[in-house]
Structure 1
């Protein structure tokens, strides 16, 4: 027996407001299964013969859209079962479709994705998506909307609203990329049809501000490395910058997590937290000196950023962020004192590592001129793919 799916106004149950709930009914093998759509309608606005809202029904278009969407969702699943030659019942059909539809609104999908990031211990990314969620809520008032409600005009209004709030172009671009990720997730989980996808016409790529190069010359690098700090954090800032420059631009979050286990035969061997890529870097003499300077017997960490006190991932993330703020503040001040042409950050060490090797004649296949997000993986692949002798020779050009 074929399965049938339809939506009806359930007259057997009357709510306190006098309305009847709309129910989806699945019939299969003589058995019927009902599930509420979560909405109700006054029976005077319902055509019980045709089982659809009357012309004068308030919110008729929204109701009809919901009915069509839910009916098509079940019909698609039935077709999938038939194509796969799998048996099913009215109960199993309702159960599977209801489970897939638990997270249906934009707010629910954002909450789901953020929860998945947290489960994977990607806490900084989770915080970034929470920031985007806050922005969307401030703009729209709520996100109890369907993904099909987010069309090109909606995106353009959100873009205009952000410009009015004087947000930077890169910040706006980041928020749209986050929204796009969650929208793609909704498509993957059959929450919304690909036909509704608005990012084919609304191009997020236009919201990328071209970032100026963040490298300084070898002479300027040496002036930073030779800077005599006047406080604990000034010294730590210079030492972290130095270590990052001498170890292929390792970022601050990875420096914070380095332990004695990452030192193997005078090489730094670690997996980059962001990409999980294995990095192997020969340690320069000054880098070894910095490790010896900060090494403490009561701590496994190479630098005094994390300690055994920080046990949970959230504690580690919070601590790294706090120390990074201090280091960034002092690097900026040091750069201004040295009259460097650009703002001094740990990221400058990453770019300068690449550009100074290139200016010294090191082959492009060994290093990448730019270590931004678009080329990090390529750079790391190159650093891994060449033999240790080539990399060791290349690293001698850093100073």
Structure 2
């Protein structure tokens, strides 16, 4: 059966502005396949008998040219396959050149595909972050069932302004727009859209970055936290995890939760960072050994985990992710209250231990490269963000030499 190709005003779908998307329809072997043309039109501007924009359409010539070009390209592809004697389906004609991704020029569809890929790779935490960004864009635009060409510099600036009115931090806005940029990059890589659609050459996401507030404490304040006696099991666990992180090169909560007895080799803690996949080897200090010993009595009931965070009941990636999220929230809540009780100058979290480790070493004269290696960072540039600024007393001392 010959393949037929035409463009339709797709009345089955109505956008928020009352327009219908223009869809390319290929019919072959009694099967139909639709693909968005990337534009929409109001029904009063469409001639449904001729399947083309009518005289009332304000941009009639441009739309007709786009339709003609698309139909020409598809007919040319069909002719080439017939000459070569190759069979094809309606779906195969829509597959992008050189790629396996079969998507429409549709931001929402590509965004959902990106999230699905992250989940398939068991990167559930990142998938959740992308879903938050996706919902934010949908809340702003009403729908992401739009072509990539609609998301231009003006669109991005309006979204940025809208987010600022919501009271969101600059870094949060930057993160969400970076997620959108990643979806653009994927769409270009798989030939879903052309490079010309890319708005991030002119719109610089780098401006949406601010250094986070310093999260490092002095050694005196760190010792006060270490010496604190927890009144409840969760407070005791929170102090233990904070102390363990500080004395083991700032290991983060997720990596701590995954530790088992197999990670202790010849007095060293050996593990692979979940985030960067770098292999880390840290000599265990006496304080760290004491904490492990305190929690080792019932570790057999936790399938060998060093700390009472995960157990044999947490098998799937989803179960592990949910458990980590709940325990981290409880631990940070406990640390926050402890910090308030101690009158600490900053909000106390598990990450303060990581920043404090880096800053204490810096003030002791340890090179940034060694600190970076201990933290498991991919570059020293990332480490610089962790390092606290010089204390006022150090600056005062430096300026005194000017006189």
CA 160–75 in structure 1, closer or farther in 2 if over 3 Å, else same: farther
- Note the residue ranges of structure 1 that are not aligned, 5 or more in a row: 16-20, 27-32, 383-399
TM normalised by structure 2 equals 0.77
Q: Secondary structure at the match of 2:378?
A: helix
Compute the displacement of 1:368 (Å): 3.7
Q: Is the 8 A contact 2:250 2:357 kept in 1?
A: yes
User: 2: CA distance between counterparts of 1:9 and 1:378?
Assistant: 51
Q: Is the 8 A contact 1:294 1:304 kept in 2?
A: yes
Partner of 2:118: 117
User: 1: CA distance between counterparts of 2:140 and 2:103?
Assistant: 25
1:347 aligns with 2:337: no
Compute the displacement of 1:210 (Å): 2.1
User: 1: CA distance between counterparts of 2:294 and 2:153?
Assistant: 56
Q: Considering only aligned residues, what root-mean-square deviation do their CA atoms show, in Å?
A: 3.9
Q: Secondary structure at the match of 2:269?
A: strand
**Aligned partner of 1:298 among 285, 296, 301:** 301
Q: Is the 8 A contact 1:267 1:282 kept in 2?
A: yes
Q: Is the 8 A contact 2:221 2:344 kept in 1?
A: yes
Partner of 2:236: 235
Partner of 1:333: 337
CA 352–64 in structure 1, closer or farther in 2 if over 3 Å, else same: farther
Partner of 2:312: 308
User: 2: CA distance between counterparts of 1:294 and 1:117?
Assistant: 34
CA 87–360 in structure 1, closer or farther in 2 if over 3 Å, else same: farther
User: 2: CA distance between counterparts of 1:317 and 1:272?
Assistant: 16
- Note the residue ranges of structure 2 that are not aligned, 5 or more in a row: 13-21, 384-403
CA 289–101 in structure 1, closer or farther in 2 if over 3 Å, else same: same
CA 286–74 in structure 1, closer or farther in 2 if over 3 Å, else same: farther
TM normalised by structure 1 equals 0.77
Cα distance per residue 1:317-363 (max 9 Å; x no partner): 11111110111011111222222221111111111111111212223
Q: Secondary structure at the match of 1:162?
A: helix
Compute the displacement of 1:52 (Å): 5.5
* 140-149 vs 37-46, which moves further: 37-46
Partner of 1:187: 188
Compute the displacement of 1:201 (Å): 1.2
Matches within 5 A, 1:5-84: 8=6, 36-37=34-35, 45=47, 53-57=53-57, 60=60, 63-64=63-64, 67=67, 70=70
